[in-house]
């Protein structure tokens, strides 16, 4: 029996909550069957849909990573054709970014934001339904393009022109269409989050009382509505360049292929913060709970998040140091990028300061949160190295870059999502999950993810290029280790799948409303499992 | 209900931002060109002819201008600069010539795209006549000498003593407006000296 279940205290069903619970019980007739999920406008149902969809996409994108690692297990071409290899790297990236990480965060936002701010539901429930249900279609289109003659997109998730315009297959049209749908879905999700947070906070829930997960999501949502339309514009330009004879990115017609990179990364850099700011919010919820202290520096966390979001708009060209920019522009983007490590450092400092002399306990969410803090910082440091223009000329397009963004996205964003699931899952199901499986999942993931990504730093520094199905012999040993780590990390996620299936079958011990004895916030004041409808009468926040 | 109307108002505002940012994505295209024109950081020269005013020739210094030619992949033409490099005084009018031959069995229309390195020099390179201003058709098997007339602005910063002008030749037959009715004015067997 884990510590997690022992710390549950029964004292949390306060009279206020008991009353609220009974008051709403007669509303709790939950629709049955498939139509419940198809037509649902309930934020909890939609959150669940998003989270399961994200997890399925995580497994699909992970399977593609397994193909990549199998091919790279040894030098030479043995398993797949180079063109198929390129499709795997491309679609793996697209699925993980747009299909796994972003929908998972939207799912968490749906589940948690109304409960955290004391709202009965999201502000725009019908649009909420649509923003989820267009997503499976988008990914069906993208995945089906892999089976077309000539294959699916093979130009990398960044779809640089002219790779995506001159040298791509007909499936590019499907790629563009699916990205449009994904973009529309995230924009609708973001609008919903903003309107909910602005208009539906419970009385007394002032801006500076909002939980940090809500704050970080609010800022993320603004980033989304600012840059997803730019991505839509970029894919539209690729579409018209390829099929309708325009020359946005074609030098022969007066366009400029380098301009593609500027437009793409104007979207792309805020996008990477879209995938990490909600993670910062999650960690800022979890660390205080298991330190049994208030979060250190709440206000500075809010300002740091906002500064990161603003700075993200002026650093995009650090992805393009090798395109031949003048030196003074490279210097600007180098220093602006390094500036981002200041607010990020504030955050890491605040988390550590929260734990300092806290009454720490190490339940599953806390384990993932601590792993996040350590490993995300490693990713942040390699990012700082990449920000230095002259050394970036060496690191550019090598496995060092792959190591960097997998540390911030897998051990950063994905670990934070897992931490969030382990933290709030008992609230959603009303039962404690299987903590033995959770421990296996954590330790297997932690070890294998480092075996997988850490050696990538070394092969990258030694000059192994990314996105190539073959490599020089001297990289063979490291790649073997990387592939073994990759398979192990992939298999470890099946433990998580087993745990989630068990949890959804509502196996396990019942938990109290507060679940974790250090947990604070409105979502811990409603009963566990969270009733289908909550806060129909807004709570009063002191 | 006031909640409803407050939500609607907010949604309208946010959708306006979304539409605005979609437009901004496209506005980046002309903005990019304007930015590059103003700062000269992209090495692009003017697409239209400059007028040569009798500027004062700066005899005190010489600038070396180097010419590089290349053809885009899939472009079969032979393309070379008759003069590889030339030393000029800022303000002085110079003419250089480029040789092209179409070895293919079909008529092809080409477009030359200039690029100057270091990019800053592009602001001070004025072309009064250039084959790159127009598409250049060439019949199968024929050849031509194409002139380019330029002067370097005397305002050129002192520290630039050397710059390179590169032309890349693209096959634009597919998008050329009219292939047969516009013969290449430079199509000839002797070097043209320009008008």
User: What percent helix, strand, coil does chain B show, rounded to 5?
Assistant: 25, 35, 45
3-state secondary structure A29-73: CCCCCHHHHHHCCCHHHHHHHHHHHHHHHHHHHHHHHHHHHHHCC
The CA distance from A313 to A262, in Å, is: 12
Q: Which residue of B has its CA nearest to A229?
A: B22
Retrieve residue B76's tokens. 């079969």
DSSP letter assigned to residue A456: H
Which residue shows structure tokens 């019908």? Answer: A126
Contact B161, B130 (CB under 8 A): no
CB contact under 8 A, B42 and A225: no
CB contact under 8 A, A225 and B18: yes
CB contact under 8 A, B41 and A233: no
Question: A-chain residues within 8 Å CB-CB of B170?
Answer: 251-252
Q: How far is B54 from chain A (nearest CA, A)?
A: 31
Cβ neighbours of residue A179 closer than 8 Å, sequence gap 6 or more: A94, A98, A138, A231, A232, A235
At B63, give phi and psi (nearest 5°).
Answer: -120, 135
The C-alpha angle with vertex A478 and arms to A475 and A483, in degrees rounded to 5, equals: 115
Question: A-chain residues within 8 Å CB-CB of B175?
Answer: 245, 252-253
Q: How many CB pairs under 8 A join A and B?
A: 88
Question: A-chain residues within 8 Å CB-CB of B25?
Answer: 229-234, 263, 267
Question: B-chain residues within 8 Å CB-CB of A251?
Answer: 113, 168, 170
* DSSP letters spanning A80-104: S-HHHHHHHHHHHHHIIIIIIIHHH
Tens-digit pLDDT string for chain A (542 aa)? 333 333 334 444 444 444 444 444 445 678 888 899 999 999 999 999 999 999 999 999 999 999 999 999 999 999 999 999 999 999 999 999 999 999 999 999 999 999 999 999 999 999 999 999 999 999 999 999 999 998 999 999 999 999 999 999 999 999 999 999 999 999 999 999 999 999 999 999 999 999 999 999 999 999 999 999 999 999 999 999 999 989 999 988 888 999 999 999 999 999 999 999 999 999 999 999 999 999 999 999 999 999 999 999 999 999 999 998 888 899 999 999 999 999 999 999 999 999 999 999 999 999 999 999 999 999 999 999 999 999 999 999 999 999 999 999 999 999 999 999 999 999 999 999 999 999 999 999 999 999 999 999 999 999 999 999 999 999 999 999 999 999 999 999 999 999 999 999 988 999 999 999 999 999 999 999 999 999 999 999 87
Question: A-chain residues within 8 Å CB-CB of B28?
Answer: 230, 233, 259, 262-263, 266
Residue B26 zone, left/alpha/beta (φ > 0; ψ -120 to 50; rest): alpha
Q: How far is B14 from chain A (nearest CA, A)?
A: 7
Provide the 10 A C-beta neighbour count for residue A170.
12
Contact A295, A215 (CB under 8 A): no
User: What percent helix, strand, coil does chain A show, rounded to 5?
Assistant: 70, 0, 30
Cα atoms in the 13 Å half-sphere on the side-chain side of A245: 6
3-state secondary structure A161-177: CCCCCCCCCCCHHHHHH
ipTM of the complex: 0.89
Question: A-chain residues within 8 Å CB-CB of B22?
Answer: 229-230, 232-233
Is the bond into A529 cis (omega within 30 degrees of 0)? Answer: yes
Per-residue pLDDT tens digits for A156-165: 999 999 999 9
Who among B15, B24, B32 is closest to A259 (CB)? B32
Task: Tell me the pTM.
Answer: 0.90
Q: How far is A129 from chain B (nearest CA, A)?
A: 16
The rounded radius of gyration (Å) of the Cα atoms in chain A is: 23
Cα distances (angstroms) measured from residue A519 to each of A83, A92, A211, A230, B148: 50, 36, 12, 39, 76
The CA distance from A61 to A82, in Å, is: 18
Who among A199, A248, A258 is closest to B29 (CB)? A248
Helix and strand totals (H; E) in chain A:
20, 0
Per-residue pLDDT tens digits for A488-524: 999 999 999 999 999 999 889 999 999 999 999 999 9
Greatest alpha-carbon pair distance for chain B in Å reads 84
* DSSP letters spanning A239-308: HHHHHS---SS-GGGT--HHHHHHHHHHHHHHHHHHTTHHHHHHHHHHHHHHHTSPPTTHHHHHHHHHHH
CB contact under 8 A, B7 and A124: yes
Per-residue pLDDT tens digits for B86-116: 999 998 889 999 999 999 999 999 999 998 8
The C-alpha angle with vertex B173 and arms to B169 and B176, in degrees rounded to 5, equals: 105
**DSSP bridge partners of A205:** none
CB contact under 8 A, A229 and B22: yes
CB contact under 8 A, B15 and A227: no
Provide the 10 A C-beta neighbour count for residue A409.
22
Which residue shows structure tokens 């091919």? Answer: A71
Which residue shows structure tokens 């989304």? Answer: A224
Instruction: Enumerate the active-site residues of A.
Output: 92, 121, 157, 185-186, 269, 271, 273, 284, 318-319, 344, 347, 466
Q: Is residue A160 packed enough to be buried (19+ CB in 10 Å), middle (13-18) or exposed (0-12)?
A: middle
B4, B5, B22, B160: best to mutate for the A interface, most A CBs within 10 A: B22
Q: Is residue A55 packed enough to be buried (19+ CB in 10 Å), middle (13-18) or exposed (0-12)?
A: buried
Who among B15, B42, B170 is closest to A252 (CB)? B170
Q: How far is A199 from chain B (nearest CA, A)?
A: 7
């Amino acid at each position: 029996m884990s510590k997690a279940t022992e710390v549950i205290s029964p004292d949390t069903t306060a009279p206020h909550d008991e009353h609220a619970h009974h008051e709403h019980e007669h509303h709790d007739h939950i629709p049955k069957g498939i139509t419940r999920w198809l037509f649902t406008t309930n934020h909890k149902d939609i959150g669940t849909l998003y989270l399961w969809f994200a997890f399925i996409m995580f497994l699909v994108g992970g399977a593609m990573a397994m193909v990549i690692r199998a091919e790279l297990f040894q030098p030479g071409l043995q398993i797949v054709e180079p063109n198929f290899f390129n499709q795997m790297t491309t679609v793996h990236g697209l699925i993980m970014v747009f299909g796994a990480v972003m929908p998972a965060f939207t799912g968490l936002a749906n589940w948690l934001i109304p409960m955290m701010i004391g709202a009965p539901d999201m502000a725009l429930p019908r649009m909420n339904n649509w923003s989820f249900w267009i997503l499976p279609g988008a990914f069906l289109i993208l995945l089906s393009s892999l089976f077309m003659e000539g294959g699916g997109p093979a130009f990398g998730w960044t779809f640089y022109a002219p790779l995506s315009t001159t040298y791509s297959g007909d499936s590019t049209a499907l790629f563009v269409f699916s990205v449009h749908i994904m973009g529309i879905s995230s924009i609708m999700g973001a609008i919903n989050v903003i309107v909910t947070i602005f208009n539906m906070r419970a009385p007394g829930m002032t801006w500076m009382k909002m939980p940090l997960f809500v704050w970080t999501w609010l800022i993320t949502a603004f980033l989304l509505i600012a840059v997803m339309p730019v991505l839509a514009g970029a894919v539209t330009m690729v579409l018209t360049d390829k099929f309708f004879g325009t020359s946005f990115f074609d030098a022969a017609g007066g366009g400029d292929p380098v301009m593609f990179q500027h437009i793409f990364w104007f979207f792309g850099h805020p996008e990477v913060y879209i995938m990490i700011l909600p993670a910062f919010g999650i960690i800022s919820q979890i660390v205080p709970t298991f330190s049994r202290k208030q979060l250190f520096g709440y206000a500075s966390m809010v300002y740091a998040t906002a500064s990161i979001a603003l700075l993200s708009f002026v650093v995009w060209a650090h992805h393009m140091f090798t395109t031949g920019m003048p030196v003074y522009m490279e210097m600007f983007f180098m220093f602006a990028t390094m500036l981002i490590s200041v607010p990020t450092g504030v955050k890491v400092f605040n988390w550590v300061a929260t734990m300092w002399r806290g009454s720490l306990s190490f339940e599953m969410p806390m384990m993932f949160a601590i792993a996040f803090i350590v490993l995300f910082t490693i990713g942040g440091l390699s990012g700082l190295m990449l920000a230095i223009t002259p050394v970036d000329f060496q690191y550019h397009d090598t496995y060092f870059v792959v190591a960097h963004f997998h540390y911030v996205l897998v051990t950063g964003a994905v670990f934070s999502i897992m931490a969030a699931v382990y933290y709030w899952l008992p609230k959603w199901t009303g039962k404690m999950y299987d903590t033995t499986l959770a421990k296996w999942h954590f330790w297997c993931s932690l070890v294998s993810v480092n075996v997988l990504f850490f050696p990538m730093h070394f092969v990258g520094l030694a000059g192994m290029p990314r996105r190539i199905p073959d490599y020089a012999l001297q990289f063979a040993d490291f790649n073997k280790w990387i592939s073994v780590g990759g398979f192990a990390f992939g298999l470890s996620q099946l433990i998580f799948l087993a745990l989630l299936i068990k949890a959804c079958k509502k196996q396990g011990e019942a938990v109290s409303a507060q679940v974790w004895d250090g947990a604070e916030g409105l979502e811990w004041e409603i009963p566990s499992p969270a009733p289908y409808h909550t806060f129909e009468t807004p709570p009063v926040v002191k | 209900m006031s909640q409803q109307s407050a939500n609607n108002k907010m949604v309208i505002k946010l959708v306006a931002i979304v539409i605005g940012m979609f437009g901004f994505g496209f506005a980046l295209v002309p903005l990019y060109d304007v930015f590059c024109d103003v700062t000269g950081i992209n090495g692009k020269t003017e697409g239209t002819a400059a007028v040569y005013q009798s500027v004062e020739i700066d005899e005190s210094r010489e600038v070396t201008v180097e010419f590089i030619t290349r053809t885009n992949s899939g472009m079969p033409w032979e393309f070379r600069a008759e003069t590889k490099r030339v030393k000029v005084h800022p303000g002085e009018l110079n003419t250089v010539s480029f040789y092209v031959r179409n070895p293919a069995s079909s008529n092809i229309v080409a477009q030359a795209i200039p690029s100057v390195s270091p990019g800053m020099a592009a602001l001070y390179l004025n072309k009064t006549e250039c084959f790159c201003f127009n598409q250049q058709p060439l019949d199968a098997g024929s050849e031509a000498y194409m002139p380019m007339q330029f002067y370097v602005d005397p305002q050129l910063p002192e520290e630039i003593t050397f710059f390179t002008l590169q032309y890349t030749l693209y096959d634009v037959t597919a998008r050329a407006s009219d292939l047969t009715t516009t013969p290449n004015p430079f199509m000839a067997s002797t070097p043209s000296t320009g008008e």
